[in-house]
Amino acid sequence: MNFWIRLIGIVLLLAPAGNLMAEAGLPAILVETGENGGETWSLSLQALALMTVLTLLPAFLLMMTSFTRIIIVLGILRTAMGTAQTPSNQILLGLALFLTLFIMQPVFTQVYENAATPYLNEEINAEDALARASAPIKDFMLRQTREDDLKLFLNLSGDSELESTGEVSFFVLMPAFVTSELKTAFQIGFLLFIPFLIIDLVVASVLMSMGMMMLSPLIVSLPFKLMLFVLVDGWTLILGTLAGSFFL
């Protein structure tokens, strides 16, 4: 009972303050039109937009960067080697994240120089900054998207008569880009699986011929797969190939 009395008292105390703020016309959400036709957002609206962008950051990382291809290939590699949880998920995610930052560095540099810096210096408005920031990201996604996948989603959206790829919207480009990344990742994963699969088949055949059917072939083949991976400097080859596939 005392809790509800205190709660009602706090509400009654805050009510006059809310009325005073409303009467003072606190510009919580305010958009002003400038002389050149641009729009200036109030600080509260900018903070709201920033928080919205932060909540969409994981989706942005998955849908519009090289992260998807890298993490899938690393996951398939761990499965092919048969090392269970080694490297752990945290290590694979960290490796994929930093490799993504390395690959996307030229794109992020263009976004910072062409959009973020002029906007922070109040040389352009938020709309122009957003348009400038989306241009290099869109260019990167178009270079990595297969033509067949892009045509598929253009036909589904009814925009198949566009004159150039520069007119493709993000709503069409993002699913086409992710589809292309999935295809490429599984193709690389298939090639990674072949040498490890051959080792598994050879070990299983030898154990069967020796009558050692109770011994798991995975236990015997694991050291050979690790030895093969170390001898060919597998991490350098895989990470170098993944990074190089985005610069072709």
- Residue 244: phi, psi to the nearest 5? -70, -25
Of 14-23, 66-75, 88-97, 194-203, the poorest mean pLDDT is in 14-23
Taking each helix axis from N to C end, the angle separating 170-209 and 67-81, rounded to the nearest 10 degrees, works out to: 10
φ and ψ at 40, to 5 degrees? Answer: -115, 125
Which residues have a Cβ under 8 Å from the Cβ of 247 and sit 6 or more positions away? 103
Average pLDDT over residues 136-155: 86
Q: Compare 152 and 37 and report the one with higher pLDDT.
A: 152
Cβ neighbours of residue 241 under 8 Å, at least 6 residues apart? Answer: 188
Between CA 88 and CA 243 the distance in angstroms is: 21
Most confident of 10-19, 43-52, 126-135, 142-151: 142-151
Note the pLDDT of residue 49. Answer: 64
pLDDT at 108 over 60: yes
Of residues 160, 170, 108, the one with CA closest to residue 133: 108
Three-state SS for 41? strand
Alpha-carbon separation of residue 227 from 74, 95, 193, 245 (angstroms): 18, 22, 15, 26
